Amino acid sequence: MRLRTSLTERLRVPFPIIGAPMAGVAHGALARAVTEGGGLGMIGVGSTDRAGLIAREARVASDGGRLLFGVGLMAWALGDRPELLEETVTAKPAFVSVSFGSPAPYVERLHEAGITVASQVQSTARAIAAVDAGVDIIVAQGTEAGGHTGTVGTLPLLQLVLDAVDVPVVAAGGIATPRGVAAALAAGAAGVWVGTCLLACPEAACRAEARDKVLAADETETILTRVFDVAQGIGWPETFAGRALRNRFTDTWHGREADLAGDTEARHRLADARTAGDYDTAYIYAGQAVGLVRRSVPAAQLVRDLGEGAASLLAERLEAVLVDGPARGPATARLSSND
Ligand SMILES: Cc1cc2nc3c(=O)[nH]c(=O)nc-3n(C[C@H](O)[C@H](O)[C@H](O)COP(=O)(O)O)c2cc1C
């Protein structure tokens, strides 16, 4: 069973499921597997990623030009590293997200290259600003999400953004099962954008120790914190903290960021722990949906299961809850206006 939304029509994919760009984790192999499963896989590009990474991973993701893929960039990092945008355009992705900062300076260049542009937003105001800048697809990213995010939950944000803009809206944050996909689509989202549920897939660039921690963690074990950015001296804007698994490092330093910034030894300990794969100190960015990740499943299978499962659930649930057949009226009209 396939699903049809404005996103599947635009991207020509069977399922409205986008594999989130996760710097350091979502490289070409994961992106390719997500696309092979019927979604759209994305490559995550970090602020310190080396030149050449995008071209190399794009070759893997596209399987030599055969498959669609996307690239996720961070707006705040592009000012100092404009070459990341040019490398992205050269790699010929179908889809690029510019998130965490204004996408405005980059939209025209991407459109000229025929690329669909998305932006993750964490508030209604950011959604409206991104649409005004010409972004084609808005991703409403709730605070449940793994990695850097805002403070509003996915469901309120999704409802607000759906009402505020007239372009397709994709839901991100906390979606990891067919139930989550079905809920977002039923609310009017054109698709879903999933990261945490892919972390344990064999194609994710995670060490075995990190994968085991993800598989063991429950939904109460994450924290939204700036400590890892402070300790690494990374220039993330303060408005975006990162959701990671809680560990000894966050227990020690969260709330004491000013002390941490001046503690050279603690900062070295984090660097050493990252090299050693010691996740009591090093970070694992993951969202609240980590409590739903219990098995390491190939990403293509996971995407197929999400898409097919959501299609069955939507059919079953609609039949179960509708009293007099499909509703007619303003709610239906509103849904179809975004999607
Ligand atoms: C490990 C990890 C790394 C991430 N890195 C990026 C990134 O480089 N760029 C980006 O736009 N979003 C990044 N994100 C956020 C995702 O794009 C997405 O919003 C999030 O994973 C969705 O919520 P979920 O984790 O609950 O599925 C990252 C998320 C995770 C879990």
First vs last Cα of the chain: how many Å apart? 19
Is the same domain home to 37 and 183? yes
Q: Please give the backbone phi and psi of residue 222, each rounded to the nearest 5 degrees, phi first.
A: -110, 165
Residue 338 inside a domain? The answer is no
Element (H, E) at 121: strand 116-121
What spacing in Å lies between the alpha carbon of 25 and ligand 1's midpoint?
9
Is the same domain home to 194 and 248? no
Residue 339 inside a domain? The answer is no
Is the same domain home to 179 and 321? yes
Whether 77 is in the pocket of ligand 1, judged by its Cβ within 6 Å, is no
Contacts of 276 (CB under 8 A, 6+ apart): 282
Is the same domain home to 307 and 285? no
Q: Whose CA is nearest to atom 13 of ligand 1?
A: 22
Residue 31 inside a domain? The answer is yes
Q: Which atom of ligand 1 is nearest to the CA of 44?
A: 8
- Provide the token pair at 49: 């990623």
Is the same domain home to 167 and 281? no
d(CA 165, CA 143): 20
- Provide the token pair at 214: 């993800």
Structurally, the chain folds into a number of domains equal to 2
The number of CA neighbours under 13 Å toward the Cβ of 339 is 25
Is the same domain home to 215 and 306? no
Which DSSP string do the residues of 129-156 spell out, in sequence order? Answer: HHHHTT-SEEEEE-TTSSEEE-SS-HHH
Q: Whose CA is nearest to atom 1 of ligand 1?
A: 285
Is the same domain home to 71 and 161? yes
Residues spanned by the domain of 105? 6-204+298-333
Is the same domain home to 216 and 252? yes
Q: Whose CA is nearest to atom 6 of ligand 1?
A: 22
Residue 84 inside a domain? The answer is yes
Ligand 1 pocket mutation pick from 22, 122, 207, 302 by most atoms within 8 angstroms of CB: 22
Q: Which residue, chain included where needed, has tokens 């893997």?
A: 60
Q: Whose CA is nearest to atom 16 of ligand 1?
A: 20
Is the same domain home to 243 and 314? no
Q: Which atom of ligand 1 is nearest to the CA of 42?
A: 17
Per-residue pLDDT of the chain (339 residues; tens, 9 = 90+): 789 999 999 999 999 999 999 999 999 999 999 999 999 999 999 999 998 999 999 999 999 899 999 999 999 999 999 999 999 999 999 999 999 999 999 999 999 999 999 999 999 999 999 999 999 999 999 999 999 999 999 999 999 999 999 999 999 999 999 999 999 999 999 999 999 999 999 999 999 999 999 999 999 999 999 999 999 999 999 999 999 999 999 999 999 999 999 999 999 999 999 999 999 999 999 999 999 999 999 999 999 999 999 999 999 988 899 887 665 545 443 444 465
What spacing in Å lies between the alpha carbon of 97 and ligand 1's midpoint?
12
| Residue 314 CA to its chain's centroid (Å) | 23
| Helix, strand, coil content of the chain in percent (nearest 5) | 45, 15, 40
Whether 172 is in the pocket of ligand 1, judged by its Cβ within 6 Å, is yes
Is the same domain home to 103 and 218? no
Whether 285 is in the pocket of ligand 1, judged by its Cβ within 6 Å, is yes
Q: Which atom of ligand 1 is nearest to the CA of 100?
A: 11
- Provide the token pair at 314: 């939507």
Whether 144 is in the pocket of ligand 1, judged by its Cβ within 6 Å, is yes
